[in-house]
């Protein structure tokens, strides 16, 4: 314990004084876990260093490896905001703007069906269930809108930035003061509510609510995940997987700001300044955890977790062994979004309005396109599973599809991104981290 604390203080001191130029030379003689530790040190330093002010520029000579087809494009009259998401039903797109306007749009003929102008700004939504749309406005009201653009009912809930979650006859709301409500979708009456302890410094989180087997799961303040029975609001379990640390409330702010991921028997979560963890779905017991921070969040595909680090690095982690399989650091400081899976590719966006398509097996960027000069909302995969709708914050949109038939993976060109982004270091065993003992859990020293 004393040795760990001394090591922690020494590494922090070295990082803060930038005297870590010797680390690459040290790592040349080491195996995978230490090499992985180096990346964690770099990302920890980057959290507060110059990458956010000086993001890595994109390669002007980059050539796409896959074919991208633009099917249609255009723009909406009003811009949106980052935590608002468009939804689709068949060929109809429902788009919420920040100033309170909701647009129904037919993507096949590029024509507007109707628009609804609300009396206040929209802060969370849209959610769709059956024949209704749900959102929360700036005044704290949950609004139920039918698919013709007419209000069915509204009820007061308080300040909300988390997207509503609707299932069966219930719509679940999470407020910024840690209160959960369940409302009847027919008339807006309250089914139940549950109050978590208040956080001294609440974060305006837009992490979505997850659901499985009549239980809703949500991240919470202070590095917590909670499970609540969606029928009656009873707390099933509450687990702190990423304890807060620091002297001030700002330093101790360590919330689960993104959506938790549900596997068959496991819940995966990542905190904004701390750990990624696997928890038992049954009782919340911590199965494993390791240092990794993310505000945007993670997704699960097959056996791999894909995490967008706060710096813009993208990690691929084996969900069972918690080993880092690859890390892509080509987009540092570019305000990278949480990934989605589209046509077996990993898709992320950045602050300049670019969409990047990555090979999920090794992290190589296969293609990129510029949609706008502004941030991109969460890409929307349409019902045919072939088309991808991209909408920027300023309302510009593109409907695209990709052709993977002409893309064949060349083993000679699929170097592991750990090696690709390793500052040209040579003679390092990039695969040994899958077999060596993971020392990262013993060296928890970064924020």
Beta bridge partners of 275: 291
The residue extents of the domains of the chain are 1-80+294-447
Percentages (nearest 5) of helix, strand, coil residues in the chain: 10, 40, 50
Quick check: 170 and 183 in contact, CB under 8 A?
yes
pLDDT of amino acid 425 = 30
**Kindly report the CA angle at 305 between 344 and 370, in degrees rounded to 5?**
50
Cα 87 to Cα 291: distance, rounded to the nearest angstrom? 34
pLDDT of amino acid 429 = 31
Quick check: 267 and 285 in contact, CB under 8 A?
no
DSSP string, 359-390: ETTT--EEEEEE--SS-BPPPEE-TTSS-EEE
The residue with tokens 């700036």 is 138
| Contact partners, residue 203, CB within 8 Å, separation at least 6 | 221, 253, 255, 257, 272
Strands 101-106 vs 224-229: parallel, antiparallel or unpaired: unpaired
pLDDT of amino acid 40 = 56
pLDDT of amino acid 303 = 94
Helix residue ranges per DSSP H, 68-194: none
Which residues in the chain show pLDDT less than 50?
3, 5-6, 10, 12, 15-33, 45-49, 410-447
Cα 384 to Cα 11: distance, rounded to the nearest angstrom? 51
Cα 246 to Cα 244: distance, rounded to the nearest angstrom? 7
Quick check: 201 and 215 in contact, CB under 8 A?
no
Cα 97 to Cα 85: distance, rounded to the nearest angstrom? 9
pLDDT of amino acid 41 = 55
pTM: 0.81
Quick check: 222 and 254 in contact, CB under 8 A?
yes
Quick check: 307 and 259 in contact, CB under 8 A?
no
Name the DSSP class of 50: G
Cα 266 to Cα 275: distance, rounded to the nearest angstrom? 16
CATH number of 1-80+294-447, picked from 2.40.128.630, 3.40.50.2300, 2.40.128.110, 3.40.50.970? 2.40.128.630
Helix residue ranges per DSSP H, 318-393: none
pLDDT of amino acid 436 = 30
């Amino acid at each position: 314990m004393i040795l760990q604390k001394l090591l922690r203080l020494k590494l922090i001191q070295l990082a803060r004084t930038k005297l870590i130029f010797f680390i690459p030379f040290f790592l040349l003689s080491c195996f995978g876990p230490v090499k992985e530790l180096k990346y964690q040190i770099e990302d920890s330093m980057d959290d507060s260093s110059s990458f956010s002010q000086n993001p890595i520029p994109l390669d002007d000579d980059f050539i796409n490896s896959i074919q991208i087809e633009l099917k249609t494009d255009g723009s909406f009259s009003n811009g949106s905001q980052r935590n608002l998401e468009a939804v689709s039903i068949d060929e109809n797109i429902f788009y919420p703007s920040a100033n309170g306007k909701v647009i129904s749009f037919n993507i096949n003929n590029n024509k507007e069906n109707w628009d609804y102008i609300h009396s206040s700004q929209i802060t969370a939504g849209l959610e769709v269930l059956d024949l209704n749309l749900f959102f929360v406005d700036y005044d704290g009201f949950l609004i139920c809108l039918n698919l013709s653009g007419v209000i069915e009912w509204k009820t007061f809930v308080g300040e909300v930035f988390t997207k509503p979650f609707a299932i069966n006859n219930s719509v679940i709301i999470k407020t910024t003061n840690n209160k959960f409500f369940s409302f009847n979708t027919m008339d807006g009456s309250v089914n139940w509510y549950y109050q978590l302890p208040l956080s001294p410094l609440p974060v305006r989180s837009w992490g979505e609510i997850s659901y499985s087997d009549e239980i809703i799961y949500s991240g919470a303040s202070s590095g917590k995940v909670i499970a609540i029975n969606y029928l009656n609001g009873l707390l099933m379990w509450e687990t702190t997987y990423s304890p807060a640390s620091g002297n001030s409330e700002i330093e101790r702010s360590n919330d689960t700001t993104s959506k938790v991921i549900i596997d068959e028997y496991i819940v995966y979560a990542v905190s904004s300044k701390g750990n990624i963890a696997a928890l038992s779905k049954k009782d919340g017991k911590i199965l494993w955890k390791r240092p990794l921070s993310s505000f945007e969040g993670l997704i699960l595909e097959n056996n791999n977790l894909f995490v967008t680090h706060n710096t813009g690095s993208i990690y691929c982690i084996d969900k069972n062994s918690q080993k880092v399989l690859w890390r892509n650091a080509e987009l540092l400081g570019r305000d990278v979004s949480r990934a989605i899976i589209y046509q077996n590719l990993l898709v992320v966006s950045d602050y300049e309005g670019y969409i990047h398509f990555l090979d999920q097996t090794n992290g190589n960027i296969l293609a990129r396109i510029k949609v706008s000069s502004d941030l991109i909302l969460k890409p929307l995969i349409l019902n045919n599973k072939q088309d991808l709708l991209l909408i920027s914050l300023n309302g510009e949109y593109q409907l695209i599809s990709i052709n993977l038939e002409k893309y064949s993976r060349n083993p000679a060109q699929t170097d592991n991104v750990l090696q690709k982004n390793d500052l040209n270091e040579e003679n390092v065993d990039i695969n040994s981290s899958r077999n060596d003992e993971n020392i990262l859990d013993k060296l928890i020293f970064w924020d």
